[in-house]
Structure 1
Amino acid sequence: MSLLEGVRILSVEQYGAGPFGTAYLAAMGAEVIKIEQPEEGGDVARHVGPYFDRQLPDSNQSFFFHSLNAGKKSVGLNLREPRGREVLRRLAAHSDAVLNNMRGDVPEKLGLTYAQLAEANPRLVCAHLSGYGRQGERAHWPGYDYLMQAEAGYFSLTGEPDGPPSRMGLSMIDYMTGVVMALALVSGVMDARRTGQGSDVDVSLFDVALHNLNYLGSWYLNAGAQTRREPRSAHPSLVPCQLYRTADGWIYLMCNKEKFWGELCKCIGRPEWASDPRYARFDNRLQHRDELTVLLDGVLSTRTTAEWMVDFGGKVPASPVLSMQQALDSEFAQGDGRIETLRDGSGRGVRLLRNPVRSSKPCAAPGMAPRYGEHTDGVLAACGFNAEEISALRADGIV
């Protein structure tokens, strides 16, 4: 039995942040049912390119969509119609949670709040993921990852000091907000099972982006410190923790404990540096970071990154600097099931990165991302709709 087996989640989700979070829940065994708008052809992510498998069904060709939706079910349901919202209420009566990642002012319009659904199911958890929250002056604002990175200060922290402000290369605010929402939802479900009463839980992209400033934020709030960009992606206070040159490229070192500095000095044949008063402790090394960079470049550039990694492995925290292609093609990434192939009924396969959560309990192999509306009839029937009702809803374009 998997970790979340028996948990049913209705997810009015689209694009990135919400689907990324519910993908974790699906991977841990929850029944995640995507609620998708019929007139829009379902989740907009189904149409995001530029890479598609044209041999798959029309609604299921986008690799972008597959990366976010493996192991879920799909129900086409028009929530803009009163009858569609009534169908949702009946589904909610048989579910543990209803999640959405809509603009902050939309959930109430679509009947997705706890106040609107509690009569159907008092134990229901209504989870809301928005750009700026459901209250306040920005509730109606659309929000996206890169906007959050810009406004929360990330651009000022990323890149070289003399370059333009830069975003991170991945949509980390979307990803983290999705995972935070998954945690909030599961916590809400646990509380509802304990107390018999559900709730609303909220998380926003902006709040997560701001909270991620974490210790840098505490430095500013308490000491007025304004962290700046450092050369070579260096840590603001720990040394050595940055990029260094090797004979064929770069290596990243992270001697974030004093013991690793001593071990590094041994491995590179400079044991005397460990006791040199200029470099003996973190505060000394920070003061002399620039000269230490020159010294380490000089030693490390005598051998290749791969050669140094042989010496450093398991002793000094170090990593080669790889392209995405090199990272995915590496023997380590390819091992231990980190990349899996999911197949549909015809045997057609899509290669995806496996969810990182692992459990000692057996988990069912995830299925391929669902075709649009693939599970509509089955989900409705499981929640008490008879064949005549389903036929009438389909004829009227509600499902």
Structure 2
Amino acid sequence: MRPLADIRIIAIEQYGAGPFGSVHLADLGAEVIKIEEPRSGGDVGRYVPPYNHGEDSLFFETFNRGKRSLSLDLTTPAGRAVLDDLVRNADAVYSNLRGDVPAKIGITYPQLRHLNPAIVCCSLTGFGMTGPRAEQPGYDYILQGLAGWMELTGEPGGPPAKSGLSLVDYSGGLVAAICLLAGVHAARRDGVGMDCDVSLFDTAIAMLTYPAAWHLNAGFTPERTHHSAHPSLVPFQVFATADGWIVVGCAKEKFWRRLVAVLALPALDDPRFATFATRREHAAELLSLLDAAFATRTSARWLSLLEPAGVPSGPVNDVAAALRDPHTLARSLVVETDHPHYGTVRQVASPVRVGDDPPAYRRAPRRGEDLGYVADLLGYDEARVASLRSAGAFGEDKT
């Protein structure tokens, strides 16, 4: 039995951030019933190019494996009645909508507790459900700019740059998943549910971590660093080699001593480079020596010397190299599912590992394909399903 096999989540979610959080819960065994709005064609992630076909896309597969899908028009009384029945039989309602929308469509705890006093309502929004930006849509790219990330990213003197991945979305999804699990734990203990107000903005600001603390307490002004250097530890950055780039980091004094031994440069045995503080003070002189040294050999040759010596280091891979890395394969981080259009879909696994049994991965659902499953779950007979269908609950015309 998977760790979360006894948790049922009603997910009113779309695109990236929300589905990224719930896909890990599904991988852990939670039953995630995805509500898709039929008039707009469901989750917009189904249509993300370039690898899309009809209502299927590899983007959607990535964020929705292991879930179930129900097309449900919540603007109709019949559709709302089905949602109410699901809430009565669920542990959580999970959404990623604009901050003012959960209350507008009636999925906050005060609006649902009459159906289920223990329901947990976890809302992942762009800016939270309070504050002056609550009604604004939140997107990863915008949040990276607003929270100061883009100003910190890139080479000094260059334009602001975003991360190569949607890290605000992904981090926000993981924070929401943690909040949901904490809420369900408390609700089972106390018998009372709650709202979980999670936002991408809060997540992005919180991830400023120690540079924020340095600024708030000591007036520190974060700046971009050459070659992605650490703001205080020297050396800890990328270095150009004869044929590429490697990352080398000395986060402890013992690593610096090991690096000096590998490089065997008499100039490094200098009091100016003896400690964290002095290496930072004389970073320009030190990095000039290191840049010249690393440029003399290939990346593979340097790593063959650094790794056995215990110096933290690694290649700067492209995505293809990262996915075929022997450690990626040894950790079973590429998984397969069967799909009626794409055949075998290969994608990356969840990093969440609990216990010894590997998760069983199932493809993402076709839109609305789990109506029969939900009908059985709620005890609907054929007459009840037909009545709901004719009333527009599932998006069909009432005629």
TM-score band by shorter chain is: over 0.9
Q: Deviations over 1:268-299 (max 9, x none)?
A: 223773x5211011111111111111111222
1:169-248 to 2 correspondences below 5 Å: 169-248=164-243
Aligned counterpart for 1:276 among listed residues 270, 277, 282:
270
| Number of equivalent positions | 393
Match of 1:22 in 2: 22
Structure 1: gaps (5+ residues): none
Asked if 1:380 is matched to 2:375, the reply is yes
Match of 1:50 in 2: 50
2:79 touches 2:392 (CA, 8 Å); kept in 1? no
Asked if 1:156 is matched to 2:151, the reply is yes
Identical aligned residues as a percent: 46
CA distance in 1, matches of 2:105, 2:381: 24
1:22 touches 1:32 (CA, 8 Å); kept in 2? yes
Deviation of residue 346 (structure 1)? Answer: 8.4
1:104 touches 1:132 (CA, 8 Å); kept in 2? yes
Asked if 1:312 is matched to 2:306, the reply is yes
1:31-42 to 2 correspondences below 5 Å: 31-42=31-42
Letter of the 2:286 partner, please give it. L
Match of 2:68 in 1: 73
Deviation of residue 147 (structure 1)? Answer: 0.7
Asked if 1:295 is matched to 2:289, the reply is yes
2:78 touches 2:392 (CA, 8 Å); kept in 1? no
Q: Which moved more, 1:256-265 or 1:383-392?
A: 383-392
Q: Alignment RMSD, CA only?
A: 1.5
CA distance in 2, matches of 1:112, 1:380: 21
Structure 2: gaps (5+ residues): 395-399
Letter of the 1:11 partner, please give it. A
CA distance in 2, matches of 1:290, 1:310: 27
TM-score, length basis structure 2: 0.95
Deviation of residue 264 (structure 1)? Answer: 0.9
TM-score, length basis structure 1: 0.95
2:100 touches 2:134 (CA, 8 Å); kept in 1? yes
Q: Deviations over 1:302-321 (max 9, x none)?
A: 21111111122251111111
CA distance in 2, matches of 1:272, 1:36: 64
Deviation of residue 244 (structure 1)? Answer: 1.2
CA distance in 2, matches of 1:100, 1:271: 60
Letter of the 1:224 partner, please give it. G
Letter of the 1:278 partner, please give it. R
Q: Deviations over 1:79-116 (max 9, x none)?
A: 12232222111101110000110101111121111111
The 1:326/1:84 distance shift into structure 2, 3 A limit, reads same
1:357-376 to 2 correspondences below 5 Å: 357-376=352-371
CA distance in 2, matches of 1:395, 1:69: 29
Letter of the 2:140 partner, please give it. D
Deviation of residue 229 (structure 1)? Answer: 0.4
CA distance in 1, matches of 2:262, 2:359: 45
